[in-house]
Amino acid sequence: MLCARAPMDDTIRAFFEKYSWDKYVSKHLKYYEVSAFDLETSIASDSVLHITDQTLDDTECETLARALELMVPENLKQLYLSGNKIGDRGVASLVKGALALPNFELLFLAKNADIGDEGMVAIAEGLAKTKIWQLVLTETKIGNAGAKAFAAAIDKDSEAFSSLRWLFLDSTQIGDKGVEALAKALTKGCKSLERLALQNTKLTNRGLCHLAKAIGEGALPKCEYLYVQNNEFDREGKMMLKAATKPRNIKVHFGWPPPLPGVDYD
């Protein structure tokens, strides 16, 4: 039984219909039948929502958020919305929708190229008090201002994002100044982080220095993996960060090969 609190309007019903389908035979495996999928039922009953590699845009994110606010689905915890056309306005709507979920814990927005700093501001201001444990913003255009907004939320309240374990900001426009703000904030809060991804961004030796200094001052006490490969640092930056992370058993991915237990790469 669906748990809607108010009637769905035509816009929401059209949205449900667009992202639902009847059963059909696979184009690639002609004897394999793909099961039917009803988005409204999935939202009401499933723990994970997948709308990936579609055309979901900001307006549709507003519609999805209204549906979540109407339905208040208790089971729904995780939102996977990668590979769409979501921008900053859509992120702000999704934050509102996530806040309607009693057990919200994960937001996966990778490969939405229009998400920028304002989207990160919406996340930083809106989700800081939630139990989110995984935030993925890979391949977006978030830059230093977005990183600073996230850091400011932690500076303001050391309990902000206290449940966050995975933070993926890789393949973005974040550079040394953004990482400096983030690193300083991590000395104060966000102590549950286990994986921090900053590969393929705009970091140089200076950014690695900020990370190393922060780790020496108590940042990332539970970190297992730190990804910084495909950035513009040299051996000096690498050795500086390595010296800070090795005593704390943080496995740093500087490039190929990836870090392996018991192997000390120069």
Spatial neighbors of 167 by CB under 8 A, at least 6 apart, are 135, 190, 193, 195, 196, 197
What is the tens place of the pLDDT at every residue in 85-109? Answer: 999 999 999 999 999 999 999 999 9
Q: Which two tokens stand for residue 234?
A: 């040299």
Q: Which two tokens stand for residue 81?
A: 């919305």
Distance between CA atoms of residues 116 and 100, nearest Å: 23
Judge whether residue 81 has pLDDT over 60. yes
Count of structural domains, the chain: 1
Domain membership of residue 199 as a residue range:
47-253
Is the pTM for the entire model greater than 0.75?
yes
Query: Does residue 153 fall inside a structural domain?
Result: yes
Query: Does residue 58 fall inside a structural domain?
Result: yes
Q: Among 3-12, 51-60, 66-75, 128-137, where is mean pLDDT lowest?
A: 3-12
Residue 191 to residues 132, 150, 185, 246, Cα–Cα distance (Å):
13, 14, 10, 18
Query: Does residue 216 fall inside a structural domain?
Result: yes
Q: Are 154 and 120 in contact (CB under 8 A)?
A: no
C-alpha torsion sign, points 150, 158, 170, 79: negative
What is the tens place of the pLDDT at every residue in 5-52? Answer: 557 899 999 999 999 999 877 777 777 777 899 999 999 999 999 999
Query: Does residue 165 fall inside a structural domain?
Result: yes
Query: Does residue 9 fall inside a structural domain?
Result: no
Query: Does residue 4 fall inside a structural domain?
Result: no
Query: Does residue 263 fall inside a structural domain?
Result: no
Judge whether residue 213 has pLDDT over 80. yes
Exposed (0-12), middle (13-18) or buried (19+): which is 257, by Cβ within 10 Å? exposed
Query: Does residue 168 fall inside a structural domain?
Result: yes
What is the tens place of the pLDDT at every residue in 141-164? Answer: 999 999 999 999 999 999 999 999
Closest CA to 169 of 217, 107, 224, 127: 107
Judge whether residue 4 has pLDDT over 50. no
pLDDT-derived band at 2 (thresholds 50, 70, 90) equals very low
CATH number at residue 85: 3.80.10.10
Closest CA to 98 of 90, 145, 150: 90
Give the DSSP letter of residue 48. Answer: E
- How confident is the prediction for the chain on average, in pLDDT? 94
